[in-house]
Chain A
């Protein structure tokens, strides 16, 4: 089967059997997607707490979810899987996650060039209008030839 005849990349199908590796440890799963965005969910777990005094989640699990949601958004917008690596990811922590609540992370890919994809996203715990984190980042396709002048 040539790449042209492959069915378009479907994030729901891609992770329908659950997420392996580090995403599996965090119990990350699919929630929704559109043409250029993917939303994942991160259920609350006591093991993910970063501040035992308040029960607030550590920021690391949210970073992992947003890395993955934005990564899936790149393939969803691009239309097929292509190997890439995170170049940088920045997160603004707007407010602490509410202890006990599932956190949703929506990653969006808003631009793809020959070798770089630009992504952004937000995380919330029930109300998208009251986000708890905002992210911006870039991915680099690892199979792209080096750019020449």
Chain B
């Protein structure tokens, strides 16, 4: 799957060839907010990208279509440190016109997320 320019700017890559929905964002000075911590916006951008990738994968198996973001809610649980960050999205419901998607970001331990997002998308079916 082709990631958009903004994902490239964040340095996001696919973490696992076997799982196209697992994303990796390596640490970089250009992702920092306060010293030593990732910017909340960079974490949010990663979460949104994970949600979009998961939704595109699910949609590809369901006839395809365009997606338009309606909203995002990000909860920040822990400060993101200067280390690789993983993120994975999951489609809670793929309807005819709307999709509900969740995404989680973590660093060392997937059971200790640093942030999570919920998003609603409008689906434009072909």
Contacts and interface: CB of A to CB of B under 8 A. Distances in A.
Interface string B27-71: 001111110001111101110110010000000000000001111
A90 B48 contact: no
A58 B74 contact: no
A48 B71 contact: no
B4 A23 contact: no
A4 interface: no
Interface string A14-37: 000000111111100000000000
Given A21-B39, A90-B72, A67 B6 contact: no
Contact of A22 (B4, B5, B31, B72): B31
B45 A58 contact: yes
B18 interface: no
Interface stretch (A49-57, A72-80, A112-120, A121-129): A49-57
Contacts of B76: 85-89
Interface of B: 4-10, 29-34, 38-42, 44-46, 48-49, 52, 68-76, 79
Contacts of B73: 88-91
A59 B72 contact: yes
28 contacts: A21-B32, A22-B33, A22-B41, A23-B41, A25-B30, A47-B5, A48-B5, A48-B6, A50-B4, A50-B6, A51-B4, A58-B6, A58-B49, A59-B48, A60-B41, A60-B42, A61-B6, A64-B39, A65-B41, A68-B41, A83-B34, A86-B76, A87-B75, A88-B73, A88-B74, A89-B73, A89-B76, A90-B72
